[in-house]
Amino acid sequence: MEAQNGAGGGAPVVLNVYDLTPMNNYLYWFGLGVFHSGIEVHGMEYGFGAHEFPTSGVFEVEPKSCPGFIYRRSVWMGTTDLSRAEFRSFIENLAGKYNGNTYHLISKNCNHFTDDVCKNLTRKSIPGWVNRLARVGSFFNCLLPEGIQVSTVRHVPTHPAFSDDDMDSVSSSVIGDSDLEELDQHLLPSTADVHSIDVPPKLAKDLL
């Protein structure tokens, strides 16, 4: 892992990066590649994935174990003074900005989400190489295949990876429609989906 423990205390904030294609083994050394990323805080990893419904696409999994992707490396981003409960409130509030049906490979992907989390928690952006494809694509979108230009990547993990208590909270508060049950096993509720949750004042201003 490209990191060392923080000297100032607090909970570590770690970016976990995954390969989306075996071609990354070659592209990576040229500063290129197609990557998924998740942000690890308080022992769980949080990511953003696509589905076709207007509800949160933010999910949680065990660190470095996101289904469907190949773990590559971790990058130390810093620490946060938020407690576990404060962070949970923060991430559920942020999830309201990241509905699954708004995911887009170029303009609003998993790396935009982790960058948003990092900026809020550590005041740092994720490394540029992690989301370089999106930045290049925003300028040269006409050169990308049509399917990438107009569609989203539909990938949300589909089996539970957290505690029964967390599962009860998610299943009772996210979506009641049976069509969504297989999609929301990892999904976090957002304050927009359910009810208002207080956010620590030091972060509330960053979410406006």
pLDDT tens column, 17-46: 999 888 878 877 777 788 999 999 999 999
| Assigned token pair, 150 | 């107009």
What is the pLDDT at residue 203? 40
Decide: helix, strand or coil at residue 125.
Answer: coil
How far apart are alpha carbons 134 and 17 in whole angstroms? 15
Catalytic entry in 110, 112, 155, 186: 110
How far apart are alpha carbons 144 and 1 in whole angstroms? 32
Of residues 26 and 48, which shows the higher confidence score?
Answer: 48
CB atoms within 10 A of CB 116: 19
Domains of the chain in sequence order: 11-139 (3.90.1720.30)
Is 104 an active-site residue? no
Is 155 an active-site residue? no
pTM to 2 decimal places: 0.69
Residue by residue, DSSP assigns 154-198 as -----S--S-HHHHHHHHHHS---GGGTTT-SSBPP-TTTS----
